[in-house]
Structure 1
């Protein structure tokens, strides 16, 4: 196994970063959430309200992998249909005090 070292100028690195950023901007964001109809897409606040839990609890569940979510850039979305299914299958989550 060998290691290769590359040296780039600050200008080269800035140009590469700009290219990457531009490509990310051009990506079709709708592709990421195309499986979720607009009327089924919920924000974290809406999802927490639907489940009758706090946003903090929802975020905790998201981190633990207990609820499915979608992320587009910095925005987090939930599918209402998927959350209802999770709630029906995991009633024990809601009975904890």
Structure 2
């Protein structure tokens, strides 16, 4: 394998970049291990379809606290929702899927 040289980055820059990536992976593993295996994770789009609302509405509900904090998690940048918790939320709030889209 040929030696690859990075002329625009110092060794310290590369070490910092690798550490950032490793820390991000560790945080993701911690989040994933705290979720029960049988609890399906849904994207915002899938979660909004499950509830019968728009993606904009589910984002607004999350930001306003209408959706409980334990019903979603951030893994890196994206937000994922617990299908089990969303279904519990929908059962306890019967008018959820009657909202405008």
Question: Shorter-chain TM-score category?
Answer: 0.5 to 0.7
Query: 2 CA distance for matches of 1:84 and 1:59?
Result: 17
Question: 75-84 or 31-40: which moved more?
Answer: 31-40
Higher relative contact order (CA 8 A, sep 6+): 2
1:58 maps to 2:61: no
User: Which runs of no fewer than 5 residues in structure 2 stay unpaired?
Assistant: 1-11
What value does the CA root-mean-square deviation take over the aligned residues?
2.6
In the TM superposition, what are the counterparts of 1:1-97 in structure 2 within 5 Å? 18=16, 21-34=20-33, 35-37=35-37, 40-67=40-67, 68-96=71-99
Equivalent pairs, count: 83
- TM-score norm. by structure 1 comes to 0.68
User: Which runs of no fewer than 5 residues in structure 1 stay unpaired?
Assistant: 1-13
Deviation at 1:58, TM superposition (A): 0.2
Query: 1 CA distance for matches of 2:82 and 2:32?
Result: 10
